Amino acid sequence: GDAIAAARPDAVLNILNGASNFSFYRELRRRGVTAAATPTLSITLTEHDLIGFDPKLVAGDYLAANYFQEIDRAENRAFLAKVKARFGDQRVVTDNMTAAYSGVHIWARAAAKAGSPDPVEVLKAVGGVEFDGPSARVRIDPENHYGWRPWRLGRIRADGSVQIVAQAPAAVRADPFPATRTRREWDHLLMTLYLDWGGRWQAPGPEQK
């Protein structure tokens, strides 16, 4: 917090996970780092996470995701209606939820295409499979098997909801292994992190070490 306040950056990129975000935003505000002067862009926070925040701490800051609830798509409106009918109007839908929903449908289409639910056969068939999900028409890349999806930027309103302020005009091909490392180096780095974190994809907190 002190380093950020002293540097006076144009913006802050936040990649923190979990409860540490609460302390992070609180300390930014305590040091006079405001959204108006130095907006923060978070790439891991979801609209559901914002429920636990005092809206004053995050209003005016930004989130990056593939999905936000206010997406104007018939598929999104239908999905929101189903979720709220089952779990209540208070339930907040997130990027991860829509990705899981689309993923099941993509698996089903790939299994039908393969003529078998066998994982090896489904993997062979999944390339090029598409599904109109809540966030977009998702397409599985035939080469890397990652989903083509659009990026979106959302600005947090004073009430804690999110307004979409920018988005890709169409789905974007995933780049899972940036050129800063070879594919082999990326695989090694990720597996090393996973093993060092005790078989989890999140670094353990002090109490877990």
The pTM score is 0.83
- What is residue 200's predicted lDDT score, i.e. its pLDDT? 84
Give the total residue count for the chain.
209
Give the C-alpha separation, 52 to 19, whole Å. 10
E strand or H helix that includes residue 187: helix 183-196
Question: 141-173 pLDDT, tens per residue?
Answer: 999 899 999 999 999 999 989 999 999 998 999
Closest CA to 157 of 86, 63, 75, 74: 63
Write 52-59 long-range contacts (CB < 8 A, 24+).
52/22, 53/22, 53/25, 53/160, 55/156, 55/157, 55/158, 55/159, 55/160, 56/29, 56/158, 57/25, 57/26, 57/29, 58/25, 58/156, 58/160, 59/35, 59/156, 59/157, 59/158, 59/160
Closest CA to 61 of 78, 72, 49: 49
Contact 146, 174 (CB under 8 A): yes
Mean per-residue pLDDT over the chain, rounded: 91
Q: Is the pLDDT of residue 112 over 90?
A: yes
